[in-house]
Structure 1
Amino acid sequence: MKIGPVKIAPAQMPPVLGRVQNAVVLALVTAGIAMLLALTPVARMMEEELGLSWLFTLRGPLPPPSGVAIVSLDRQSARRLGLPPQVRLWPRSLRATLIAELKKRGATAIAFDLTLETPTDQIQDGALTRAIAAARSVVLVEALEREEVAVTDAQGNPAGHMAIVKAIPPIEPFAKAAAALAPFPLPKIAARTNQFWAFKEGAGDRLTLPAAALQVHAASVHAVWLSRLREADVPGLETLPPDNDLLSEPGSVQKASLAVRRALLQDPGLIDRLTPLPARLGEHERRLIDALNRLHTGPQHYYLNLYGPASTITVIPFADLIENKPIPDLNGRAVFVGVAERSSTNVDSFYTVFSTGDGIDISGVEIAATGFANLLDDTTLAMPRQGTVVAMLAGFGLAVGFVAYLLPGTWAVAATLFIAWAWLSFTLKMFEQNHLWLPLAVPLLVQVPLALFGGLLWQYLSANLERVNVSRAIRYYLPEKAAADMARGSTDPGSARDLVFGTCVASDAARFTALAEALPPRELATLLDSYFATVFEQIQLQGGTVTDVVGDGIMSVWANPQPDRAQRIRAVMAALDMATAIQRFNRQHPSRPMPTRIGLHTGWIMVGNVGGKGHFAWSVVGDIPNTASRIEGLNKHLGTTILASREAVGDLDMVLTRRLGRFRLFGKAGELDIHEVIARRTEASPSQLRLVSLFESALEAFEGGRIAEASDLLHSVLSEFPDDGPSRFHLDRCASHCAGIRVLDDSAVVRLEAK
């Protein structure tokens, strides 16, 4: 069972199936976290504060909408006309002049983002009232007032308070003359203004200023729009003017919208069941009717599709109109009137994504005009349903999570960033072309970092675990240092060799061949595992390294850069402990004993990788391990268990040894002084000490050529120690010499002719 050549190859990727499974797990985690996040307000906040901002920034400003313009009551106009800076102090007759001029220029709706709650001079107010009535297209803003009302239970006891929102109209003459009255609140959901109301919740679902302006702007199609609804018996329309002229009676616009909206929301399929539009209608009229239908079937509030920074929408200074300066064509446009100037001191302004660094925000009247243009042109921002958003986040998470783990590090980063870029490009295209607002912040700020961090960390941990497993596996076959070097990838197999001074211990089990023939392979393997565990434990306890295992034979080494007596002591102690442990093993397996012979030799050796062409074996190279193996084999001839060269044990006085003579081993040119290792000196028995003493005298006579004397002394040793193998070996040599069978050329050197 030799440890075969170890093939040292470049690190390879883990099995594909395992990587795919891990990639799927990471993909599911990435998708799952984003899906859970999408169900919380945090995701909407991220998208509104970050994702929407990125989309507007990347898209940039748009051309101004063609259906709306703004007349700005600005301070520059005040200076030109000699008016006070405060707009509320301007003569109302100027506003009357403004209305008349706008009507003359073809404005379809005139929406004032200015409250008119208090009367002023009768003449001024009268002029403005007449102008409003004559235009029949003026929408005046209502103020909203929140009032806390005490609530009682059935017994009349206080039960808390209820908030009521009241609309505060302009003064009565203006209210009766106006085509419509409408509030203009803005949702206070985030720091940035992103939305506007079309129907004000809590105020009777009243049309807001942008929506009321759209209704007035579409006056030319009221008759067709309402007649089709009347045919469908929509409740509430019977109180409207019979000719469907909503501008002829105060409040008709709000009443009509409320009735139509309730009917369409209660019966969503009603729109599709209406009679077809008359063929005589042109494209413009059809677009107006579609806009009215979308308004009354849509949500209460919308996300603003902003056109750009302040003054992107066409802004006309008030003074230019009054002074009859050249201005853009207003025919067919709705005109919003309010304070709109590029100034950081404008109190009627709102922070948006297009607010500039110098503090210039978008004015309230520009927000109203933007909402109107969005409703008219169907360009309000739309978000997919929550289920679709969750599905998108799941798909994106699966994609980035999968590639972040499946691909190697650099490729994983590149592929993940490419997917992120592709998603960004897709969402921007949908935003620009379809006004569709898809999730962006959560994919880029949550899923991409999570996938990359999780994928790369998991790859690192997996690779590290693989290195640990490989290192642990290699340590079963290689020494600790060699295994550590291989695990770090720092080993050059062809050059990983060291010249050291070491003591080699070779061991081999006797009668193993017969045992292998008698046992089935599985039982033999189990027995060997137990045997090797017994031997290896003693080697490792003494700091040795197993370098080769061949069949039942083991080669181990104790090495040091320079000659080290302590290393030789540990090797000898290991040999003694191995012999003791094997005796215990054999007592535990009496029917399958494995008596073991051990040989030791010391000298300079080369340790490291041996091989070529990608196949290497870690081994010990040199004459020393070969000689140790020959010394181990000498035990067969001498009937001993542990033999060692003088170089290994000659100066170790803590060990009881006996010199057995000088031997020229089979296949070797030089002679070795061989010693038997008997026991630790502190554990040696009196009989062992006597045997050493008696044998020493006999060996001295033998090596001195006094064969007869040596024979007598050896007979004396065997009479006291009949099982002593070395005594019988040398006595046989004496007898052969005396009988002339084998004449010794040199009695001081034993020459072996077989292993």
Structure 2
Amino acid sequence: MLKNFGRCLIIAFSITVSASIIYFSSQLESGFGLDLLFQSRGVRTPPNNIVIIAMDEHSQTRLGLWQDLTRWRGYHAMLIQQLKRQGAALIIFDLQFLEEHPGQDDIFADAVKSSGNVLVTLCTQKQNSALDECSENNKPSNLSNYGIQQEASGFKGINYPVKLLSDAILDAAPFFLPYDAKNPTIHEAWLFVDALDYTPTLPVTAWAHYLRNKALYPYSFPQHGQLSQWLAMQRKNCLNDENSNNNDTLNDLLTVICSSETVYLDFYGPPKTIRMESYSDVYDGKINDLSGKVIFIGKANRKYLPSQKDYFQMPFSDTYTGNMAGVEIMATEFANLLEKRFVISPLPPIVLLFFYSFFICLILTNLANIYGIAASLAGSAVYLLAAVWLFSAKAYWLPVAIPILYQLPMTWLATLLWSRQDLLSERKRIMAFARRVFPRWAPVNPVSSGLLFEIENPTTDFQRDIGGICLATDIEGYTTVAAQHTAHEMWQLLSSYYQVLGRPVSTHKGIITDVAGDSMIAIWMDSLSIKQKLEACLAALEMAQAVEDFNTSPIPLPTRIGLHSGDMTLGRIDAGEASHYRAIGDTVNTASRIQGVNKYLGTQILASACIVNGLSNIIYRPVGKFLLIGKNEPLELVEIIGVASESIKQRLTAINDSFAVALYTFQQGHWQEAAELFQIQLNSYGQDGPARFYLNLALNYKLNPPVNWRGVVALEAK
């Protein structure tokens, strides 16, 4: 566990470095990832005390005003009077009143002054802009066409409204949006513009007035007058005086004043999610429930607005809802301030990225193969659901795009490569160990590059627990053959025989661990991979063919082969002054028992069913469940027939299918029917050892039915 812990620290650190580069150099997370969280969360209910009055197409047609915004001022005066009668808390214009309009300014200014709660937008002109952004007719500012860095360093200054209006308004402040040409979707908004002498933006200024009107911080604000200059002074003091943060009387107000210049907005939904009423409907007195509301007034003419300059992409924009008007974004920022809720990261993004990779790595290193992949996908799904829940509940922003699209596959790859390196290193150690433990069979052991090691102290006790596949062989009728020949003749015969028998083992990367008279044990060490199972099966098939060729000699040695997989121990066993090296354990014993079942079934190669799981290029057939001598649990066995090819498949499909039906009938305890099916099998396809075995057994069970039959054949001898 500690090994996996240290490994995952290294993997997580390495992947986090590259993920951090992607995070800070691209818009993958702040664009796609954040938009995904908004879309997953859906619409959120905005505060009910905010209303947008839209200067829309309906109002333009109803009032006959069209594009010259200076002609609206007389109507603004009447609208303000209407809102004053209803008791609106604040009236905020997302408009810049820069040019005089004789005949309307007096009426407009009187209404503004009488209301006493009107705020307007100031215009800012950039140093490097080729356009006069504060021109007549209140043309929209072009500041949004530039990046944040340019905005923060290239301002000429602020243009104020006409004097009559400047003297009448409650306050004024600029409002514009950060913009990145690479990612035009709006996610952020300015709170303050430090390059303009720490000037607060209009939503912050309006929020401060709202708090003062509600007497939420009675000892914090000046009692009268504008708050924009006071906010700028407080921010300047906060940023320049480290002790200013100790002023607890400001509380949430201080948090905003001393925060960063920009914040990530928590949008409530697509355009018009915040309550929006048509300008003309309010003007005509059709809307009468605006008491105590904060009113935002601005352009929202989707049909006639030239070039759609005051419309912006946002996370909920699509072809159906369209983009969001600037006045809606202003109202969204104000609403976020009221709720004390912006999109924030609960921890530094790098920390979150690191812990994600570390968590996925721990899963992969503790669960093997497909289980690790499945668990990592499940863990990522849980992380994604948690990210969406935290975003919905608290506006906490956890990275989702980079973890899922980059870190997850990279962690898969890193753990796979490291595991592969572990496998190779372990194989080198095992092979070096095997060469020390089994020096007699070094000539037939597989030789791979990098596996030759110096033999250490030969007197050292060696042992190692491994997992792998064991192949056991036995010569049929060996006692009879040995009785008919001299010891020297048997030595010559067996020397030739085991050279033939050992060559397929060597070819297919196995190791011969023991030869004793008529039997041989070979093993394949490593994880029980599909490739390793295939190597063992191919070795058994080639071994059978080699023995068949060998048996053309005057003295044939028919050979039975058994295969099983599981845990084993390689080690040296000391007996007096002699030492013997063996692979020992239940796996070896079971392989030998399986080999012995061949003499009952008349087969040559039998294996436990686990050997062929996942192998598509080996032809085999199940031959039933057996309770072997000395075992408590039954074992399902299969006969290894050959390497898969179309010709062999076509020839054996019908035979194997009919045998499978007969075997199933036998296992269900239908002895007479099973006997008939096995007899048909023999009549149709000739001699077949397993069919003959089950025919005889079915006839016997018909006369003497076994007690508590479970479909398992109990063998009474090896």
Query: Residues 165 and 202 of structure 1 are in contact (CA less than 8 Å); yes or no, is this contact kept in structure 2?
Result: no
Q: How far off its partner does 1:73 sit?
A: 0.2
Output aligned runs, 1:574-585, within 5 Å.
none
Q: What are the Cα deviations for residues 282-326 of structure 1, in whole angstroms up to 9, with x where unaligned?
A: xxxxxxx75533332222111100000000001010011111113
Q: What are the Cα deviations for residues 366-425 of structure 1, in whole angstroms up to 9, with x where unaligned?
A: 000000111122011222353xx3333322222110111220222212221222122223
Alignment root-mean-square deviation, CA: 4.9
Query: Residues 175 and 201 of structure 2 are in contact (CA less than 8 Å); yes or no, is this contact kept in structure 1?
Result: yes
Moved more, 258-267 or 21-30: 21-30
For residues 479 and 617 of structure 1, do their structure 2 counterparts lie closer, same or farther at Cα, with a shift above 3 Å needed? farther
Query: Residues 222 and 245 of structure 1 are in contact (CA less than 8 Å); yes or no, is this contact kept in structure 2?
Result: no
Instruction: Report the 3-state secondary structure (helix = DSSP H, G, I; strand = E; otherwise coil) of the residue aligned with 2:179.
Output: coil
Instruction: Report the 3-state secondary structure (helix = DSSP H, G, I; strand = E; otherwise coil) of the residue aligned with 1:123.
Output: coil
- Residue equivalent to 1:310: 271
Query: Residues 137 and 179 of structure 1 are in contact (CA less than 8 Å); yes or no, is this contact kept in structure 2?
Result: yes
- Residue equivalent to 1:256: 230
Which of 452, 477, 481 is the equivalent residue of 2:412? 452
Give me the whole-angstrom Cα distance separating, in 2, the residues matched to 1:379 and 1:436: 10
Give me the whole-angstrom Cα distance separating, in 2, the residues matched to 1:62 and 1:495: 76
Which of 345, 348, 356 is the equivalent residue of 1:396? 356
Aligned residue identity for 2:207: L
Provide the TM-score with structure 2 as the length reference: 0.58
Are residues 1:429 and 2:383 paired?
Answer: no
Give me the whole-angstrom Cα distance separating, in 2, the residues matched to 1:558 and 1:100: 104
Aligned residue identity for 2:345: M
Give me the whole-angstrom Cα distance separating, in 1, the residues matched to 2:71 and 2:486: 115
Which of 184, 191, 194 is the equivalent residue of 2:187? 194
Query: Residues 497 and 609 of structure 1 are in contact (CA less than 8 Å); yes or no, is this contact kept in structure 2?
Result: no
Give me the whole-angstrom Cα distance separating, in 2, the residues matched to 1:94 and 1:325: 15
In structure 2, the gaps of 5 or more residues are 130-152, 449-465, 479-484, 490-494, 521-542, 564-587, 596-718
Q: How far off its partner does 1:219 sit?
A: 3.7
Which of 129, 133, 136 is the equivalent residue of 2:116? 136
Output aligned runs, 1:242-321, within 5 Å.
244-246=223-225, 252-267=226-241, 269-270=243-244, 272-273=246-247, 290-321=251-282
Instruction: Report the 3-state secondary structure (helix = DSSP H, G, I; strand = E; otherwise coil) of the residue aligned with 1:175.
Output: helix
Q: What are the Cα deviations for residues 61-109 of structure 1, in whole angstroms up to 9, with x where unaligned?
A: 111222321100001122233x143252644200111112122222222
Output aligned runs, 1:86-125, within 5 Å.
86=67, 88=69, 90-120=71-101, 122-125=102-105
Give me the whole-angstrom Cα distance separating, in 2, the residues matched to 1:343 and 1:417: 46
Query: Residues 31 and 393 of structure 1 are in contact (CA less than 8 Å); yes or no, is this contact kept in structure 2?
Result: no
Query: Residues 291 and 377 of structure 1 are in contact (CA less than 8 Å); yes or no, is this contact kept in structure 2?
Result: no
For residues 449 and 546 of structure 1, do their structure 2 counterparts lie closer, same or farther at Cα, with a shift above 3 Å needed? closer
Aligned residue identity for 2:287: P
Moved more, 414-423 or 458-467: 458-467
Q: How far off its partner does 1:359 sit?
A: 6.4
- Residue equivalent to 1:208: 201
- Residue equivalent to 1:54: 36
Query: Residues 198 and 302 of structure 1 are in contact (CA less than 8 Å); yes or no, is this contact kept in structure 2?
Result: yes
Output aligned runs, 1:659-678, within 5 Å.
none
- Residue equivalent to 1:606: 558
- Residue equivalent to 2:610: none
Query: Residues 37 and 43 of structure 1 are in contact (CA less than 8 Å); yes or no, is this contact kept in structure 2?
Result: no
Are residues 1:357 and 2:309 paired?
Answer: no
Q: How far off its partner does 1:477 sit?
A: 5.1
| Higher-RCO chain (CA-CA 8 Å, sequence separation at least 6) | 1
Give me the whole-angstrom Cα distance separating, in 1, the residues matched to 2:477 and 2:311: 82
For residues 561 and 498 of structure 1, do their structure 2 counterparts lie closer, same or farther at Cα, with a shift above 3 Å needed? farther
Query: Residues 47 and 440 of structure 1 are in contact (CA less than 8 Å); yes or no, is this contact kept in structure 2?
Result: yes
Q: How far off its partner does 1:185 sit?
A: 1.4
Query: Residues 94 and 121 of structure 2 are in contact (CA less than 8 Å); yes or no, is this contact kept in structure 1?
Result: yes
Aligned residue identity for 2:299: V
- Residue equivalent to 2:154: 163
Give me the whole-angstrom Cα distance separating, in 1, the residues matched to 2:430 and 2:229: 81
- Residue equivalent to 2:173: 182
For residues 310 and 221 of structure 1, do their structure 2 counterparts lie closer, same or farther at Cα, with a shift above 3 Å needed? closer
Query: Residues 26 and 451 of structure 1 are in contact (CA less than 8 Å); yes or no, is this contact kept in structure 2?
Result: no
For residues 563 and 381 of structure 1, do their structure 2 counterparts lie closer, same or farther at Cα, with a shift above 3 Å needed? closer
For residues 508 and 30 of structure 1, do their structure 2 counterparts lie closer, same or farther at Cα, with a shift above 3 Å needed? farther
Q: How far off its partner does 1:602 sit?
A: 4.9
Aligned residue identity for 1:118: E
For residues 403 and 614 of structure 1, do their structure 2 counterparts lie closer, same or farther at Cα, with a shift above 3 Å needed? same
Greater CA radius of gyration, 1 or 2? 1
Query: Residues 427 and 440 of structure 1 are in contact (CA less than 8 Å); yes or no, is this contact kept in structure 2?
Result: yes
In structure 1, the gaps of 5 or more residues are 1-16, 150-161, 230-242, 247-251, 277-288, 500-504, 510-531, 569-600, 620-755
Aligned length: 486
Q: How far off its partner does 1:127 sit?
A: 1.0
Instruction: Report the 3-state secondary structure (helix = DSSP H, G, I; strand = E; otherwise coil) of the residue aligned with 2:104.
Output: helix
Over the matched positions of the two proteins, sequence identity in percent amounts to: 23
For residues 497 and 91 of structure 1, do their structure 2 counterparts lie closer, same or farther at Cα, with a shift above 3 Å needed? farther
Q: What are the Cα deviations for residues 495-523 of structure 1, in whole angstroms up to 9, with x where unaligned?
A: 99999xxxxx99989xxxxxxxxxxxxxx
For residues 99 and 30 of structure 1, do their structure 2 counterparts lie closer, same or farther at Cα, with a shift above 3 Å needed? same
Give me the whole-angstrom Cα distance separating, in 2, the residues matched to 1:559 and 1:354: 70
Instruction: Report the 3-state secondary structure (helix = DSSP H, G, I; strand = E; otherwise coil) of the residue aligned with 1:202.
Output: helix
For residues 498 and 313 of structure 1, do their structure 2 counterparts lie closer, same or farther at Cα, with a shift above 3 Å needed? farther
Q: How far off its partner does 1:35 sit?
A: 4.8
For residues 558 and 435 of structure 1, do their structure 2 counterparts lie closer, same or farther at Cα, with a shift above 3 Å needed? closer
- Residue equivalent to 1:636: none
Give me the whole-angstrom Cα distance separating, in 2, the residues matched to 1:267 and 1:508: 102
Q: How far off its partner does 1:187 sit?
A: 1.0
